[in-house]
Chains A and B, each alone.
Chain A
Amino acid sequence: MFKRLTSSIQSIGHGFIEYTWQFGFACRFFILILLKSAVSLRRFGLVMRELYFVGVMSLIIILVSGLFVGMVLGLQGYETLQKFGSETAVGTLVALSLVRELGPVVAALLFASRAGSAITAEIGLMKATEQLAAMGMMAVDPIARIVAPRFWAGVISMPFLAAMFSVMGVFGGYLVTVVYIGVDAGSFWSQMQSNVDFHYDIVNGFIKSCFFGVAVATIAVFQGYDAAPTAEGVSRATTRTVVTSALVILGLDFILTAFMFRGVS
């Protein structure tokens, strides 16, 4: 009994130390990426190529999801607001929910699942098949040539994807409440226009998505680079990217929201 207790305490301690090491490595890796980004930024074609795979290829899932999330928000919002006779405020509700929270958060979660996992798997497989080692042997730094362009592609595309998600969501809400249910279009748009503040809501949402972009891109490239060079190692790393990204996005969202929207009047 005592032995089992000590062994479980040991395993908790071991896990904690392991995660602390991982966190330290990830932070060091993040700084290394920043230091070695000059090549990527000088040869922007490398980033552009990754932007296509990471950003453009994620558009479909982001747009379709945004549309459906907006439609659901419209339905649920109308259902609740009509009880209080304020169904015309549904436009405001849809826009604020999307721009402040759901746009950045859900887009980041989808981005982590679609693009983050792909980045991890790609870098992990390159490691497993010795492509990264071969690059090092050719006197080409893999962090500068492979990791940094993918990192910047993730960072750049995330805010745009979040914005597209919100735009499609608002359109979805419009389709359901105005076109399908019959809420007055003028009220829908004018209430939205008067209640959504550019700096307070849209810019803050944009800043959030930038943070999420940095977090997801860092996690994705780090997990790929740190993956054990085996099929199992790559599969574990891909899973870790999705799980860690989801937790970090949600945790970071709470912290950012607490800082940004404290003075809600």
Chain B
Amino acid sequence: MSSDALIEINNLNFSYGARPILKGINMSMHRGKVIAIMGGSGSGKTTLLRLISGAVKPSAGYVKFDNQVIHELKRDELFKLRRKMGMQFQFGALFTDLSVFDNVAFQIREHTDLPEPMIRDLVLMKLHAVGLRGAHELMPGELSGGMARRVALARSIALDPALIMYDEPFTGLDPISLSVIGSLIRRLTNALGMTSIIVTHDVQESLKIVDYVYFVADGVIAAEGTPQEVRESVKPFVHQFVHGKEDGPVHFHYPANAYQTDLNLEGKLV
């Protein structure tokens, strides 16, 4: 594992009660890169983000962020570390009682003593970066889904974090918004030199913008590689996922008794 990695994940295990979710995950995420974590629903992708942010603790192994083991930090230290992280939730999670401007200014006001004119300039710059400077007076309820995600993105980069995590950033967007969000993630990552982790199902859109892909299935890394390697992969799981095949290593049918047994047709002539 190289030392310039912003995030190192080593033999990470996590379980909810007796149910294992992640089993021996190893990852390395470098500065200035966009990394996608893909996998079916319930495969543990969002749990992985929660472990990186310190919202939950692993049952074994560790996540290191900027050479600090996350789960060993005290609450105050963790909160201090989180100022270097941004997180974008699936539907933006904007504060509905605050305007677009105040949403983006929220973190700056909470964590700095900057004078209000400077906060105004910073907020307008962040909103300009996502193309919504003109919408700064609107309330979240007045925004479309795509605009809300862009505002959330502006809010995430308010304090120029070293890492941004995106939980399903493309879900429920029209093709134009989807493409805008995708290119914004790439552009902002390059411009700010930060690391972006995208948890997504959207294979085609994410392969256009990411540098590296991890596939998580059944709590382990089933495959990994660059977008080119992933597209050309002949591994059955990757092939099924990337090309959206109905059946393969991930079965169409949920495990069940034999069909004839459930229909009480065993031993009968059909």
Contacts and interface: CB of A to CB of B under 8 A. Distances in A.
User: Which of A129, A137, A139: most chain B CB closer than 10 A?
Assistant: A137
A140 B110 contact: yes
A133 B89 contact: yes
Contacts of A255: none
Interface of B is mostly: mixed
A35 to B, nearest CB: 12
Contact of A137 (B82, B90, B91, B95): B82
B96 A131 contact: yes
Interface residues of B, number: 20
Interface in B44-89: 53, 55, 79-80, 82-83, 85-87, 89
A134 B79 CA distance: 13
Interface in A114-129: 125-126, 129
A14 B207 CA distance: 51
Given A137-B85, A139-B80, A139-B83, A130 B91 contact: yes
Contacts of A258: none
A129 B85 CA distance: 20
A130 B149 CA distance: 13
Contacts of A137: 53, 55, 82, 85-87
A138 interface: yes
B250 interface: no
A135 B152 CA distance: 12
B94 to A, nearest CB: 8
Contact of B87 (A126, A129, A134, A141): A134
A140 B83 CA distance: 9
Interface in B101-128: 106-107, 110-111
B222 interface: no
Interface of A is mostly: helix
A138 B85 CA distance: 8
A137 B107 CA distance: 10
B192 interface: no
Contacts of B110: 138-140, 145
A139 B109 CA distance: 12
Given A136-B55, A137-B53, A130 B82 contact: no
A130 B110 CA distance: 19
Nearest to B78: A139
A135 B96 CA distance: 12
Interface of B: 53, 55, 79-80, 82-83, 85-87, 89-91, 93-96, 106-107, 110-111
25 contacts: A125-B96, A126-B96, A129-B93, A129-B96, A130-B90, A130-B93, A131-B93, A131-B96, A133-B55, A133-B93, A134-B89, A134-B93, A134-B95, A135-B95, A136-B55, A137-B55, A137-B87, A138-B107, A138-B110, A139-B80, A139-B82, A139-B110, A140-B107, A141-B79, A145-B110
